[in-house]
Amino acid sequence: MRREIGILCVGVICYILGGPSVWAEESLQDLTTQAMDECQKGRLAKDGESRSAHFDRGRTLAEKAVALDDQSADAHFALFCSIGERMRADGEVVFSVFEYGRMMDALDQTLALNPNHLDALSSKGTILIEVPGLLGGDDEKGEVMLRQVIKDAPESINARMVVARQCAERGEHKEAYELSKRALELAKAQEREDLIPEAEETFSEIQGQLLAR
C-alpha cells in the first residue's frame, strides 16, 4: 500500500515524510510507461530514422527505470523491447553479439522476476522458435510457452501467428488456419496497426496452403 506523504516541522525546518518512496514509485512507473510508449511509437513509425530514434529514447528511459529498481520486471521488459526492436529496425544486418546478449539478459531477468509476465513469455517463446539451435533455439519449448500465453491471454495476437506458422510447417493446416484467422480478427479489433500487416500476410499464406491441398 502506498504511504501517505506527511510533513514534520521542527522549529523552522520541515521534513517530508514518506516522500522518497512515493516519488520513486511514481518515477519508476512513469519511466517504464514512457519507455514502452516509445517502443510502440517506433513500431508505428514510417521511416527508419524515426523508428531508431524512438527505440533509442525508449532504451534510455528503460535503463533509468532499471537503475531505479532492478527488481522491476516491467522495467527489464521495457529494456528488452527497446533493444530488440532497435535490432529489428536495423534489419539485423549488423549482428551484435553483445546487444543480443543484453537483450536476452533483460528478457530472462523479466521472467526471473515474474514468471507469469505474458508479454515476456510470448517474446521468449517466439525467440526460441525463430532463432537457430546454436543460439539457444528450441521449437518445442517455444511452442509450449506460446500455447500457454494463448490460454492465459485469449486476446494475444503474436503468439497465435507464430504457433499458426509452426502448425502450417507440420502440415496441420486446419489448426494453422483457425489460429491465423483469429490473430487477424484480433489485430483488426484492437486496431493494432503494427501487427495487422503481418497478421494479414500470415493468414493469406496459410489460407493459400489450405486451398492448395
Buried b (16+ CB within 10 A) or exposed e, 138-163: eeeebbebbebbbeeeeebbbbbbbb
* Residue-wise pLDDT tens digits, 29-79: 999 999 999 999 999 998 888 999 999 999 999 999 999 999 999 999 999
pLDDT at 108 > cutoff 90: yes
CATH assignment of the domain containing 77? 1.20.120
* Segment holding 40, helix H or strand E: helix 19-44
Would 131 be classed as within a structural domain?
no
Would 103 be classed as within a structural domain?
yes
Rounded CA separation 39/45 (Å): 10
What's this model's pTM, rounded to 2 decimal places? 0.81
* pLDDT: which is higher, 9 or 115: 115
Question: Whose grid coordinates read 526492436?
Answer: 85
- pLDDT above 90 as % of the chain: 72
Q: What pLDDT sits at residue 92? A: 53
Return the beta strands (E) in the chain as ranges: 6-10, 13-17
* Residue-wise pLDDT tens digits, 128-164: 999 888 878 999 999 999 999 999 999 999 999 999 9
Would 84 be classed as within a structural domain?
yes
Average pLDDT for residues 193-201, to the nearest whole number?
96
Would 83 be classed as within a structural domain?
yes
Would 206 be classed as within a structural domain?
no
Identify the domain containing residue 67 by its residue range: 16-115
Average pLDDT for residues 2-9, to the nearest whole number?
39
Instruction: Count up the domains in the chain and report the number.
Output: 1
Of the candidates 145, 146, 127, the residue with the CA atom closest to the CA atom of residue 137: 127
